[in-house]
Structure 1
Amino acid sequence: MPPPRVISFLTGADWAAKGPQTPAQRFYGAYASAIKEFDLTAHRKHQFYAEHAIFHNQNGVDYHGTEIWPWIIKLFGEFARLEHDFHAVWELEKDDGTIHLIARVTRNIWLPVPISMARQLLAFPCP
């Protein structure tokens, strides 16, 4: 089987300046924007995880369709929000026409911390 071919590459600077350039990148960009604005603690179902979607986790486990969102909520549901800073996005096409996006990102995670706790942390003396 021949390897997939790279049909697009964007640096993080390209992504920020030009935005997504292809349909797959626009979908991924819309997903990243929606995740940034989404209230993870509400545990509502997200529109981006279709029945036929497959999420390949870094630990080798694949989550399919309806398994994805419960896994995401279990993983990130206690956080206030997520945001991704893009460093690079590769778009690959396989012989069967399927598109794969590989993204190198920094994930920023906000904790829901009460203001009173933040004040205590700021007042704590550093050694």
Structure 2
Amino acid sequence: MLAATGAALAATMPCSVHPPKNATKAELAKLAKVSQADAERTAKAVFKNPSDVAVADSELEAEHGCLIWSFDLKVKGTVGVHEVQIDAGDGKVLSSVHETPAKETAEKKNDQKQTPTPKR
């Protein structure tokens, strides 16, 4: 049931690229049609003064069945980061959410739990 729900969620996501599960970073990069630089410009353009925005972290990733560029942005005069997700296929903004420092820390811990340890 849970797998079916996840598949249904991925099918309804408003994104243009649905990468296969467990795709490598190299495979994800091949699927991306939007460059990191273009996605960054789009992410910064969400703000009234893009010059007040600095990239704290960025990543090409598969999230909820969608291939996205994810940017953690520091905005001058604010606390925490603003996460902007850009569709790596068509360059559209999928989400834009402000995260408090506590939420950002919790998200990073969760990401570390989900990242598989490389086999040696």
Structure 2 length normalisation: TM-score? Answer: 0.29
Which is greater in Rg? 1
Say which structure, 1 or 2, has more relative contact order (CA 8 Å, 6+ apart): 1
Structure 1 length normalisation: TM-score? Answer: 0.28
